[in-house]
Amino acid sequence: MSNLFWPIYKKLESEFMEISYYISIDKRQLKTYSIKIADLILRTVSECENISKELCKKEKVKYKDKKGKIRSHVNFHEYISELDRIYDLKSKHVSCIFENLEENTFDSKHMPFRRETIKIKGQEKEIWKWHHSYNLIKHDRIKYFKEANIENLINGLAALFLLNLYYQDKNFHIEDEYDYELIISKIEGFSKVFRVDYALIPSDKEQRIRRDTFFDPISFFEIAKPYSTYIIEIDKEFKTVLDKGADLIDKLESKVMYFKDGSLTKKYEAYELTDHKTRCALVASLNKTES
C-alpha cells in the first residue's frame, strides 16, 4: 500500500517555504500570525493526529478499557505516549535549516515532543505548546488568532516530520565502501526544511580506546544516542531487499509439493530455512528503544 502521509507532509512543507518568501523569518517574526498560518497549523497538527494513530497500528499497539475490550476512542496524547515508549520521541532533536531562516532565529534545536509546563486557568499543566495552540485555534479561532503564529507552525511541522520518518521506516546501507557522506546525505535528504540528528556506533577498534583520552567515542555515542533519530553502524549484518527475496524463495521452496503414488508429497522432508543477511560496511537504521 502506498504511503498517503508523506505527500501531504511535503505539500505542507512547500507551503511553509512559500510563506518564507513573504515573511522574513527571524526571532522578531516568530509571533507573526495570519489566516494562512492558521490554516497550515490546523492541517499540520491534524496530520500529526492521523499518522500517530496509524503508527500505533503499525507497531501493534492496542488500547483496552478496564474490562479488557479494545477501545474505539483514543486521545492523541495516548498515541504519543506509546510512540514515545517505542521511539523515545521526547528526546529527539529536529533542526530547522532552510535557506530563508535567519541563522540565529532559534537558540537550540527543536524537541517537538518535549512537554513544557504552563499555567492554564490557574493550574500548571504539561503540554506540547504547538498542539495546545492548535486546539485553541480549532475551537475559537477569533479569540486565539495570535496562536496561529510561525513559531507554532514550525514546531508542529517538526513534529509531523519526525512522525513521518518513523512511519516510513527507511534504512540505508552501503555494502563495500565506508562512504559516510553518502549515508549522511540520504538521512539529510528527506526535507528542505528540517534535519534530524544521527549517531555513529564506534567500531570495535574505537571501543578499545582508553576512556581517559581527550576524545572518547563510546561516551560521545552514549550522549548522542537518545537525541538521534538515526543510528549508523559499521560492518553490520543487514537484511537487504535481495536477502528478503532470498528468504521468500526459501519459504516457497520449502513448501513445494509433488504427486507420488497418487497423493501430494512434500519435495523436502526437512528443509532448513536460511536467514539471509549481507555484511555491509555501513548501515543507517531508525533509532528505536524497542526492537
Q: Kindly state the average pLDDT of the residues 3-29.
A: 94
Range with the poorest average pLDDT among 140-144, 176-180, 260-264: 260-264
Query: Are residues 104 and 20 located together in one domain of the fold?
Result: yes
Is residue 282 within 8 Å of residue 180, measured between CB atoms?
A: yes
Q: Is 256 contained in some domain?
A: no
d(CA 214, CA 120) in angstroms, rounded, equals 47
Read off the pLDDT of residues 28-82 as tens digits, 9 standing for 90 and up.
999 999 999 999 999 999 999 999 999 999 999 988 877 778 887 899 999 999 9
Query: Are residues 58 and 143 located together in one domain of the fold?
Result: yes
Is residue 264's pLDDT more than 90?
no
Query: Are residues 161 and 147 located together in one domain of the fold?
Result: yes
Those residues with Cβ within 8 angstroms of residue 233's Cβ, 6 or more apart along the chain or in another chain? 200, 201, 282, 283, 284, 285
Q: Is 273 contained in some domain?
A: no
pLDDT attached to residue 250: 86
Q: Is 255 contained in some domain?
A: no
Query: Are residues 183 and 46 located together in one domain of the fold?
Result: no
pLDDT attached to residue 65: 78
pLDDT attached to residue 237: 92
Is residue 290's pLDDT more than 70?
no
Query: Are residues 228 and 209 located together in one domain of the fold?
Result: yes
Q: Is 269 contained in some domain?
A: no
- For residue 122, count other CB atoms closer than 10 A to its CB: 5
User: Domain range holding 102?
Assistant: 5-168
Number of domains in the chain: 2
d(CA 29, CA 16) in angstroms, rounded, equals 14
Q: Which amino acid is at 23?
A: I
pLDDT attached to residue 122: 81
CA proximity to 183, closest of 199, 169, 168: 199
Q: Is 271 contained in some domain?
A: no
Query: Are residues 156 and 219 located together in one domain of the fold?
Result: no
- Give residue for cell 526571532: 27
- Higher confidence at residue 254 or residue 41? 41
Query: Are residues 144 and 25 located together in one domain of the fold?
Result: yes
Query: Are residues 185 and 48 located together in one domain of the fold?
Result: no
Read off the pLDDT of residues 166-177 as tens digits, 9 standing for 90 and up.
999 999 999 999
Domain boundary among 144, 168, 192: 168
Query: Are residues 79 and 108 located together in one domain of the fold?
Result: yes
Is residue 274's pLDDT more than 80?
yes
Query: Are residues 158 and 182 located together in one domain of the fold?
Result: no
Read off the pLDDT of residues 116-147 as tens digits, 9 standing for 90 and up.
998 888 888 899 999 999 999 999 999 999 99
Is residue 151's pLDDT more than 70?
yes
Domain boundary among 168, 202, 231: 168
Strand, helix or coil at 53? helix
Query: Are residues 176 and 154 located together in one domain of the fold?
Result: no
**Class of residue 67 by CB neighbours under 10 A (exposed 0-12, middle 13-18, buried 19+):** exposed
Is residue 211's pLDDT more than 70?
no
Domain boundary among 168, 201, 230: 168
Those residues with Cβ within 8 angstroms of residue 98's Cβ, 6 or more apart along the chain or in another chain? 17, 20, 192, 193
Q: Kindly state the average pLDDT of the residues 148-172.
A: 97
pLDDT attached to residue 194: 97
Q: Which stretches does DSSP call E strand in the chain? A: 94-96, 116-120, 123-127, 172-174, 194-200, 228-238, 257-260, 263-266, 278-286
Read off the pLDDT of residues 71-117 as tens digits, 9 standing for 90 and up.
878 999 999 999 999 999 999 999 999 888 888 899 899 999 999 99
DSSP-derived letter for residue 25 is: B
pLDDT attached to residue 269: 76
Q: Is 291 contained in some domain?
A: no
Query: Are residues 95 and 37 located together in one domain of the fold?
Result: yes
